[in-house]
Amino acid sequence: MYDVLVKNGKIVTADAVTEGNIAIKEGRIAAVLTKGEEPEATNVIDAAGKYVFPGAIDTHAHLNDPGFEWREDYEHGTAAAALGGYTTVIDMPLQNDPCMTDAKAFDFKENKVSPNAYVDYCFWGGLTSYNFGDLKDLDEKGCVSFKSFIGPVSPDYESLNYGQAMEAMDMIKEFDGRAGFHCEDYAIIKNQEKRMKEAGRNDWKAFLESRPVVAEIVATDAIIEIAKATGCKAHICHVSHPAVAKKIKAAQDEGYDITAETCTHYLTFSNEDVIEKGPLYKCAPILQPKEAVEEMWEYVKAGVFSGIASDHSPCSYDEKFNEILGNKIETVFDVWGGCSGIQSGFQAAFSEGVVKRGVCPTVLANAMSVLPAKAFGIYGKKGDIKPGFDADLLIVDPNKEWEITEESLLYVNKISAFVGLKGKGLPVMTLVRGNVIAKDGKVIAKKGVGELVKKLK
Amino acid sequence: MYDVLVKNGKIVTADAVTEGNIAIKEGRIAAVLTKGEEPEATNVIDAAGKYVFPGAIDTHAHLNDPGFEWREDYEHGTAAAALGGYTTVIDMPLQNDPCMTDAKAFDFKENKVSPNAYVDYCFWGGLTSYNFGDLKDLDEKGCVSFKSFIGPVSPDYESLNYGQAMEAMDMIKEFDGRAGFHCEDYAIIKNQEKRMKEAGRNDWKAFLESRPVVAEIVATDAIIEIAKATGCKAHICHVSHPAVAKKIKAAQDEGYDITAETCTHYLTFSNEDVIEKGPLYKCAPILQPKEAVEEMWEYVKAGVFSGIASDHSPCSYDEKFNEILGNKIETVFDVWGGCSGIQSGFQAAFSEGVVKRGVCPTVLANAMSVLPAKAFGIYGKKGDIKPGFDADLLIVDPNKEWEITEESLLYVNKISAFVGLKGKGLPVMTLVRGNVIAKDGKVIAKKGVGELVKKLK
Amino acid sequence: MYDVLVKNGKIVTADAVTEGNIAIKEGRIAAVLTKGEEPEATNVIDAAGKYVFPGAIDTHAHLNDPGFEWREDYEHGTAAAALGGYTTVIDMPLQNDPCMTDAKAFDFKENKVSPNAYVDYCFWGGLTSYNFGDLKDLDEKGCVSFKSFIGPVSPDYESLNYGQAMEAMDMIKEFDGRAGFHCEDYAIIKNQEKRMKEAGRNDWKAFLESRPVVAEIVATDAIIEIAKATGCKAHICHVSHPAVAKKIKAAQDEGYDITAETCTHYLTFSNEDVIEKGPLYKCAPILQPKEAVEEMWEYVKAGVFSGIASDHSPCSYDEKFNEILGNKIETVFDVWGGCSGIQSGFQAAFSEGVVKRGVCPTVLANAMSVLPAKAFGIYGKKGDIKPGFDADLLIVDPNKEWEITEESLLYVNKISAFVGLKGKGLPVMTLVRGNVIAKDGKVIAKKGVGELVKKLK
Amino acid sequence: MYDVLVKNGKIVTADAVTEGNIAIKEGRIAAVLTKGEEPEATNVIDAAGKYVFPGAIDTHAHLNDPGFEWREDYEHGTAAAALGGYTTVIDMPLQNDPCMTDAKAFDFKENKVSPNAYVDYCFWGGLTSYNFGDLKDLDEKGCVSFKSFIGPVSPDYESLNYGQAMEAMDMIKEFDGRAGFHCEDYAIIKNQEKRMKEAGRNDWKAFLESRPVVAEIVATDAIIEIAKATGCKAHICHVSHPAVAKKIKAAQDEGYDITAETCTHYLTFSNEDVIEKGPLYKCAPILQPKEAVEEMWEYVKAGVFSGIASDHSPCSYDEKFNEILGNKIETVFDVWGGCSGIQSGFQAAFSEGVVKRGVCPTVLANAMSVLPAKAFGIYGKKGDIKPGFDADLLIVDPNKEWEITEESLLYVNKISAFVGLKGKGLPVMTLVRGNVIAKDGKVIAKKGVGELVKKLK
Ligand SMILES: [Zn+2]
Ligand SMILES: [Zn+2]
Ligand SMILES: [Zn+2]
Ligand SMILES: [Zn+2]
Ligand SMILES: [Zn+2]
Ligand SMILES: [Zn+2]
Ligand SMILES: [Zn+2]
Ligand SMILES: [Zn+2]
C-alpha cells in the first residue's frame, strides 16, 4: 500500500517523455511504473493529459530571511516557489542578517526558517573576504556551494577580487566543493556607472550602458581561468548573454567541471523592456537584446546550463520607486536591482520555451532539475523521477493559458517584472516529498513542510 | 503478480548507480522500485552485490547469416552475444547473401534468422551505389540506419564515393534517417597498400602503414562536411583513433547530430599486438598506438561515442592463416581482416574501463546502452532501465576474474584476438525482454527467443 | 650610369607606400632611392602621381602552348599579361601537348615558347598518376610547384585521388617542393552533375548546384590533412569561397606551410552573373554569392592568399557557345569552363579592392607579388621592389577610368567574362627586367623578351 | 656624393637576407643598392662577412631619467643601448620624476634628456587614473603609446583597474592611439604574495608562486576583451609565457590589432635561474620553466611579437641585496624586481635564437625592428632598411664569441642577470641616422646625438 500514486501522466525526464505512474511511499519515489500498473495507494492523483516533471530546482534565490523579512520571508517566498513549481530552492547567503558565513549563522538560519518553509531548501554558503576559515565548516554543515561576487552588488557583502577568488578556490577544491560567482567585473561596472553619472545621464539606456556585456565576459573568463589553474569546480551565476555562454561552453567542451545557470528573465525579457518600462526590469546582469535572448535558448538546448533560476531578488515597492533604507532614489542607478520571479520561473520557461519556441519538455527537465541537482551535489535525492529520489513532482497542464497578475503573487511584496506576462502551460499541482503543497493555484499544505537539504557526501 | 523481480542489485543507468529492484511483466520493465519494495513475482532473482546494467547494444556486428553461415550464424553469434551481454545486436547488411539492400532481402533474412536468435536484433540497411531507390522501403521495413563504406573493405559490397554519399544523405535526410559510414578514404588505403606491395613489404608493420590514420581522418572530415551540407544525420563507424574522435567531438560541440561508435578492441589492444601476434589482430581501421588507446577512453568518458561495438567480423581459421574462398594467403594484405569479439565486448570494456582505468560504470551504461539506443531510434524500447522499456538486463559480478579461452567461445569459429585476455568483472546473467537467456556462463534459453526490433517512428 | 630610372612614383611594397626612385641596371633593380636622389640613367621614366607596384605574378594561367594555340599561345597570352600587369606568369602544365610531365616536355615547351614570350614565365610541373618518377627531374629543371586535380576537370590530364596525392606529397616533400591542387572533390562534382542531368536540368542554376561548395571544402580538408601527415608544402588553387579560405587560414594559423590563391573573378563577379549571363561566367570552382565575395576580400586583407591569379582558361567562341572539338554543346554542362582574365586581373583587383572597398595598395602588392614569389620559390629574384630583384614594375594611374572591351583584348580569342566591366585605376606601363613591355595600353616590346624563371635553390 | 656607404654586408630585412650596399645621406637611407653598386661616399664602411640589421627598437625600457638617475640615466642607458644595438628606445613613463603624465612633463623630460642621448628615443605616455584628460595632449606631443599597469608594480604610479582601462581605451581609440599594459592581475599577485608571507615563506620558489601564470592570463584575457569591446588598439607588454602568447595569437588570428612584446630574458633564462641565483633574476612577470622558453621561441617565429624588449629596469646593487629607499630588504618580496638588459638584448636574442636554435635572422629583423616600428607608429622613419628611413643600422659579426662581464656594462649600476652569459654573434657597429655611435665594443659618438622620435601622423 503506497501513500500516493500519480497515474496516467506524461512523465518527463531528461531522456524522454513517457506515460506511466509513480508510486510514493514515505516521501520518496518507491516505484516508477508503466501505464496500467496501478498499485494501491491512499491518495491517487490522476495526471491524464498532463506532464509530470521532476520538481524544478531554483539554483539561485534570495529569500532574505532572516533579517530582511519585509523584502521576503520563507513563508511567502517558498509558498510562491511551491505554486510556481520550484520544489527545492537554493537560498543565497546574503541579504540575510546574519549573512550565512559561518556554522553558527547556518544553525541560526535553519532554526529560524524551517518552521515556515513550504518547499525544500538548500543553503549557498557565503564566500567573502573574511570567512575563508569557515568554508570547510559550512561544507560540513551541508552547504551545497559557495557564493561570491566579482561584481559590485550588495552593500552587506563584500565582493572578492580575483586573487581572493583564487585563494578561495584553492581551499574549496580541498573538500571538492563548488565555488559560484556573480560574474561582472567590479571595476568595469563601477567605472562605467561613474562615467554615466559624470556625463549627467539618468536614463535607462545609461543604466544599460553602465553594465556592458564585456564586464560579464571579463569576469567569467577570469573565473574560468582560475578554475582551470586551481582545479576547483566553479559555477557561473545568472548568465545573461550568449557571448558569455559561449565561453562557458568552450570550457565545458574542453572537459572542465564549470557549471552555469541562466534565469527565466534572460529567456523572456529584453533590454527594450528596461527602456520602456524601467524599474521593475532593472537587474544585474542586465536584460539583453532580443537576438541575444534567442541565442540563449540555443545554449539551454545544448545543455550548457545547470539551472534556469529565478534570481528572486525581492524588494518593497518603495525600493523600486521611492527610497531604499532611507536613501531617496534619485537616479536609475539608485533603483533596487532585481526581478521577483520565483513564482513565475517555471511557467514562463515552459511557455517561452516549450510552447513558443518548440523546445522539448525534456530540455527543461534537464536544465531545471537533473543538471542543477548534479551540479549542487543533491542528485540521488533531488532532481529526477527515479526510485529512491524524493517525490518532488510538478504536474503541468500544457493547455492552460495564463496571465500573471499582482494579486496572484504570494510574495511579501506583490511587484514583479512578470506581471502582465501572458502564456500557456501552467503548473497545476506541486508535490514535495509526496506531499501535495500546491494545487490549482493555491498552496494547500501547512507551512513547515519544507526541509533543509544538505549536499550529499 | 509480476513475472520476474530482479532485486537488491546496484542498478546502473547513465546518471547514477542506485540500489533497487526491477519488476518485469510481459517482457517489459513494469516498475523500477526502491530497495525493499519487493512485489510478488514468479521468478525472483537476487542480484545482491552485483551491478544490473541495461543490456548492451552492439551497434556494429556481422552475423553473416544468411549466406556465409560457415563464418557465423544467428544461432552461434547471438548465443555468444547473449553470454557476453549484448542484448540487442545491430546486424550489418553485408557478408550476407543476399545483401540487405531491398525490402525483399529484409523479409528473406528476417524469416531465415528469426528462428535462431537468442537476443534481439536490428538490421542496418544496405547503402550501396545501386540501391538508392530502396532506402525508403528499408526504412519503412524498420532498418535503424544505413551502412556504407568509404574505404575499400568488402568484395561483395561496393563502397560509395563522396558524391554518392552526398546523394544518399540527401535522400536519407528526407525520411529523417541516419547514414553510417566505414570511414577510411578508399584511395588512400588502396594506394598505400599498393606502395607497400611495390616495395616488397610483407610484414605487419607494412600492413599498419598501409592504413594510416590520415585515411580515417580524411574520410571522417568529408562525411562530417557532407552531413553539415545536407542536414542528414550521420554515424561514424568504429573510430580507432583520438584524432578522429576529436573531429567528431568538434562537430558535436557545434550542435550537429553526428554520432559515432568505437569498438572494444580499440579500447583494449594496440598496434604492438598486431606486430607481435599478427593475423588475429588484423582489422580495419587498424589497432593504434598505446597512447592513442588511453586517449580514446577520454572520449568515451566525454560521451562522444554512441556505442562500444564489437564489429564482430568472424572468419574461419583458414581465412586468417591459409586461404580465403580458394585464394591462398600469401601476404599480410591477404589475411582476413576482422576481430571476433561479440562475446567479449562488454566484459573487456568493463575490465579495461571500470576496473583498470577507474571509469564510472555509468559511463558504460551511457556509451553501450543509452546513447546507442538514441542514435539508432530504438530508445523508449531499448537502452535504459525505465518502466515501459524492454526488460533487457545484464547482471555483472564486479569481482569475478576471468581469462578468455577458445573453448569458451560460442562462435562457429572459435578464434579471436580476445583469447588469452585476462580481466575482472563478468556478466553472470543476461535477460532479454524478461527471459533469462544466459546464466553463469551458459546459454539456457531456447533459440528463437530473440526478436527483430524496428526503428521507432 | 643606369639604364633606367623610374622616378617620383609612389612605390608600393607589402609594408608601405613611399615616394622614391628606382634605378635599374642590366635588368635588375640596382638601387632603390629616396625621392630627390636621381642618378643618371639612359631612360628616365617619370611616375609622378602614379603607383609603382612590383610586377604582379599570375600564379595560375593556362597558356595552352604548345598544342592548343588556337585557344591561346605565348605571343598573345603574354602580351595580354604584359598589358594587364602580370610580369611573371606561372603557366599550367596541362592543355598542353605534350603535357608538362617530364623533362623532355619541359625542354620542348621552353624551346617552343621562349621566342614568343613578352613576360617572364615559370612552369608548373605536371602531377599525374603516371609521372611520379619524373617529379624530381622536373624540380631540377626548375618547375616551381606541381599541379594536380582532385576534381574532374580536364580530359587530357588525369586527376589524382587522395591516395595518389599522398604518395606524390611524400615524394615532393623529399626535395622540399610544393604540391598544388585544384580542390573540388571529384566524386561529388561528377555525381552532382549526374543528378542534375537525370533530373533533366539544363539551366545555369543546375550548373551551380552541380558544384556545391562542400565539394571544395571536402577536397581542401583532405589536402590539408594529407599535407599535415606528410609534411609536404601544399598550395590550394583558385579558392572561390570564404568557407574554404577559413579552413586554410586555420591551418596557416597552426603553423603549416599551406598556401593558397584566389582569382580576380572570385573577387569581382558572383553567381548572379552566371545565372544572368551564362557561358562566359562558367568556371570551376563556380562564382559564389555576393556575400561570399565580400568575405573573400577579408581573407585577402588577412594575408591568406599567395596569389590573386587569373586562372586564364581561354577557349574559342565556339567552345563557349557551339561545340568543343567536334562535340556539340547541348547543355550547360557541355560549355567550356573557364574565364579569360589574364589581361584584366590586376586592374580589376585594383578597382574592386583599392578603389571600391578601400583596400590598401600594400595588400595587393603583398597578395599579388610578395607572397606568390615566396610561395613559389622565386622570391629574391621576383616579387618585390628591392635591390637585386628583377626590375619588374607596374606603373598604375589610380585615377584612370576604364571599361573593358572585346577589341582591347589581346587574346587569341577575344571573349571574356570581363568584357563590359567598368572601373578605375589602370596599369599604364609595365617593365620586365627593366624593359618597357607595355605602355599606355599598347605592347611595345618585341616578342621573345620574356624569359623562363626557375625555382631558386 | 653620399655621407656614408655601408657595403658588402648581408642585409637582413623581414623578408630576406641579401648582399648589398646602403648609401646614406643626411642621416637617412638615400639608396639601397645591389652588391657592386658603390657610389662615392665620405665614409665607406665595409661590412663584408657581416649581417647588417635594421637598428633594433627596444619597445620597453626604463631609463629613469629624470628623477632616478642613480638607477639609470640617459647618458649611461642610451650608451649601453647603442653598444647593444637598440637604436631606438621607447622609454617608459614611470620611475621618472615627474612621471610622464602630461605635456609639461613631456617637455621637461625632453629638455633634460636630449643633451645626453646616444640613440633615438620615443616616449611612452603615462596612463594612470589621474591623467585621462592629458592623453590627447601627450598623443599630440608625440607619445607613441600609453602605458598602464594592471598588476601591482610601481609605488609611484597607480595601476588601473579594468574599468579604468576600459574608459582609457574608449578615449585612446578616439585619436587612434595604442594602449599598452603590464598584464598581471593586480589582485591575484597581491593576494598570492600575502598568502606566501602568511605561510612564513621567504624563498625564491615562494616568490615564483606569488606570481602564477594565471595572473598574466587573466589580465591579458581582460585587456583583449576590452580591446575588442572598445575597438582600441592594445599592446601587451613583456609576455613571459606561451599560454599568454597563445591567447594573443588567437586574437590576432581573429583580426584584432592587438600587439605584444616579449623580452630577451624570457627567451634566455628560466625559473631555475631564479631559484639558483636569486635577486638578479627577479622580475615581473617571472622567468618561466625551460619548456615554456622553448615554446616562446615558436611564437617569436610565428610573428606574434612586435618587440623583443629589454624591459631594462635598473637599480643599485643595494636595491637588489640590502635596502631600497631606506627600507631594508628582508624577504624575497622586498628585493627590487627587474633585469638590467638594454645592453645585452640584441646579442642574447641573436645567440639564443639564430645561433642556438637556428632561427632565421629575418625573424629577428621582423620582431625587433619592423613589427615594433609598425606597432608604435614610427614605421616609415624607423624599423627597416628602405630608402627614406633613418639610417639606423646594426652590423653584427655572426662568428664573434662573447661572455658578458660586469666591467663591460655601461650602466650606472653594473649589475645584471646577463653577467656570465656566453654566446656567439656580436654587434660590432651601430649607426643612428648615419652616425657611427658604437664600434668594436666602444661608444665613439658624442652624447646628445640621439633625438626624440614622435609618432608619425
Ligand atoms: Zn548576482
Ligand atoms: Zn542573486
Ligand atoms: Zn567497417
Ligand atoms: Zn564492420
Ligand atoms: Zn583548376
Ligand atoms: Zn586552372
Ligand atoms: Zn611591466
Ligand atoms: Zn617595465
Looking at residue A158, its pLDDT comes to: 80
Closest by alpha carbon to D239, among D404, D87, D142, D367?
D367
Q: Is residue B87 part of a domain?
A: yes
Q: Looking at residue A344, what is its pLDDT? A: 97
Evaluate if residue B302 carries a pLDDT over 90. yes
Both D23 and D111 in one domain: the answer is no
Give me the residue from B167, B214, B229 closest to C214, CB to CB.
B229
Distance, CA of C364 to CA of C370 (rounded, Å): 9
Q: What is the pLDDT of residues D25-51, one digit of tens each?
A: 999 999 999 999 999 999 999 999 999
B150 vs B181, B215, B245, CA distance in Å? Answer: 7, 10, 17
Mark whether D27 and D153 lie in a shared domain: no
Q: Which amino acid, residue B454?
A: K
The answer to the question of residue B178 being in a domain is yes
The pLDDT tens digits for A367-419 are 999 999 999 999 999 999 999 999 999 999 999 999 999 999 999 999 999 99
Clarify whether residues D147 and D280 are in a common domain.
yes
CB contact under 8 A, A19 and B388: yes
Distances (CA, A) of D394 to D200, D264, D356, D431, D434: 49, 17, 20, 6, 11
In this model, does residue C92 exceed pLDDT 80?
yes
User: Is the pLDDT reported for residue A214 higher than 90?
Assistant: yes
Q: Residue A73: which domain range?
A: 54-375
Alpha helices in C144-203 (DSSP H): 162-174, 186-198
Instruction: Tell me the pLDDT tens digit for each residue of A168-213.
Output: 999 999 999 999 999 999 999 999 999 999 999 999 999 999 999 9
- Identify the band that residue D301 occupies on the pLDDT scale cut at 50, 70 and 90: very high
Assess whether pLDDT exceeds 80 at residue B324.
yes
Bridge partner list, C2: C41
Q: Is the pLDDT of residue D151 over 90?
A: no
Q: Is the pLDDT of residue A156 over 90?
A: no
> What is the pLDDT at residue C100?
95
Give just the sign of the alpha carbon dihedral C263, C269, C270, C274. Answer: negative
Examine the domain organization and report whether D208 and D336 are in the same domain.
yes
Chain A residue with Cα closest to B251: A253
Mark whether D199 and D79 lie in a shared domain: yes
D361 and D439 together in one domain: no
User: Residue B104 pLDDT more than 90?
Assistant: yes
For residue D257, what are the β-bridge partners?
none
pLDDT of D361 reads 98
pLDDT band for position D457 (50/70/90)? confident
Within this chain, do residues D209 and D357 fall inside the same structural domain, yes or no?
yes
Distance CA A232, CA B233 (A): 37
Task: Indicate the average pLDDT of chain D.
Answer: 97
Distance to chain D for C114, nearest Cα, Å: 28
**Confidence at residue B332, expressed as pLDDT on a 0 to 100 scale:** 97
From the list A127, A162, A176, the residue with the least C-alpha distance to A147 is A127
Around ion ligand 2, which residues have CB less than 5 A away? A 311
Backbone angles phi, psi at D428, to 5 degrees: -115, -10
C-alpha cell at D254: 581573429
The bridge status of strand D178-182 relative to strand D145-149 is: parallel
B25 CA → ligand 5 middle, Å: 66
Asked if residue B133 is part of any domain, the answer here is yes
Question: Does residue A7 lie in a domain region?
Answer: no
Q: How many helices (H) and strands (E) does chain C have?
A: 15, 19
User: Rg of the Cα trace of chain C?
Assistant: 21
- Predicted confidence band of residue B155 (pLDDT cuts 50, 70, 90): low
CATH number at residue A68: 3.20.20.140
Please name the helix (run of DSSP H) or strand (run of DSSP E) that holds residue D396, with its range, or none: strand D393-403
Q: What is the DSSP letter of D433?
A: T
| ipTM here | 0.96
Position of cell 590514420?
B213
Q: Are D263 and D313 contained in the same domain? A: yes
Q: Cα(B267)–Cα(C354) distance, rounded to whole angstroms?
A: 56
B345-360 per-position pLDDT tens digit: 999 999 999 999 999 9
Task: Specify whether D294 is located in the same domain as D405.
Answer: no
For A437-446, the pLDDT digits (tens) are 999 999 999 9
- DSSP state string for C227-287: HHHH--EEEEEEE--HHHHHHHHHHHHTT--EEEEEEGGGGT--HHHHHHH-GGG--SSPP
Confidence at residue D49, expressed as pLDDT on a 0 to 100 scale: 97
Chains contacting D (3 or more CB pairs within 8 Å): A, C
Ligand nearest to the CA of B152: 3
Indicate whether D9 and D149 sit together in one domain: no
In percent, the amount of chain D with pLDDT more than 70 equals 99
Searching chain A, which residue's CA lies closest to the CA of residue D168? Answer: A191
Provide the pLDDT for residue D157: 74
Q: Is residue B318 part of a domain?
A: yes
Q: What is the mean pLDDT of chain C?
A: 97
Q: Hey, CA dihedral for D361, D363, D366, D367, is it positive or negative?
A: negative
Smallest Cα distance from D252 to chain C, Å: 10
Give chain D's domain count.
2
In a domain, D149, yes or no: yes
Q: What is the pLDDT of residues B229-266, one digit of tens each?
A: 999 999 999 999 999 999 999 999 999 999 999 999 99
Look at the block and give the residue holding cell 551540407.
Answer: B229
Residue whose C-alpha cell reads 536540368 in the numeric block: C201
Compute the radius of gyration of chain A from its Cα atoms: 21
* CA distances (Å), origin A433, targets A173, A371, A437, A444, B33: 32, 19, 10, 15, 16
Q: Is there a contact between A160 and A126 (Cβ–Cβ < 8 Å)?
A: no
Residues D356, D278, single domain; the answer is: yes
Residue-wise burial string across B88-124, b where 16 or more C-beta atoms lie within 10 A, e elsewhere: bbbbbbbbbebbbbbbebbebbbebbeebbbbbbbbb
Q: Which single residue is written with the C-alpha cell 591579458?
A: D220
Q: What is the pLDDT of residue B153?
A: 64
With beta carbons under 8 A apart, name residues in chain A contacting D166: 188, 191-192, 212, 214
Band of the pLDDT at D153, cuts 50, 70, 90?
low
Residues of chain A neighbouring B13 (CB-CB closer than 8 A): 386
Please, what is the average pLDDT of chain B? 97
Q: Report the range of poorest mean pLDDT among A244-253, C293-302, D153-162.
A: D153-162
Summarize the confidence of residues D376-405 as an average pLDDT: 98
Residue of C nearest to B229 (CA): C214
pLDDT in tens, C273-284: 999 999 999 999
pLDDT score at C153: 64
User: Does a structural domain hold residue D182?
Assistant: yes
Residue A223 one-letter amino acid: I
> What nine digits make up the cell of D256?
584584432
Question: Are B28 and A15 in contact (CB < 8 Å)?
Answer: no
The percentage of chain B sitting over the pLDDT mark of 70, rounded to a whole number, equals: 99
DSSP designation for B135: H
Contact at CB, C222 and B226, closer than 8 angstroms: no
Residue of B nearest to A2 (CA): B37
Block residue for cell numbers 527537465: A365
Is the same domain home to D47 and D109?
A: no
Q: Could you tell me the pLDDT band of residue D154, with boundaries at 50, 70 and 90?
A: low
Chain B contacts to C (CB-CB under 8 A): 161-164, 166-167, 185-192, 195, 212-214, 217-218, 221-222, 225-226, 228-229
CA separation for the pair D270, D327 (Å, rounded): 29
CB D93 within 8 A of CB D63: no
| Site of grid cell 556504407 | B148
A34-64 per-position pLDDT tens digit: 999 999 999 999 999 999 999 999 999 999 9
CA of B401 to the centre of ligand 1 (A): 53
Cβ distance of D15 and C388 shorter than 8 Å: no
C-alpha D271/C-alpha C403 separation (Å) is 65
Beta strand ranges found along B38-127 (DSSP E):
41-46, 51-54, 56-61, 86-91, 120-126
Strand pairing class (B28-34; B17-25): antiparallel
Residue B173 lies in a domain: yes
**How close is the Cα of D283 to the center of ligand 8, in Å?**
9
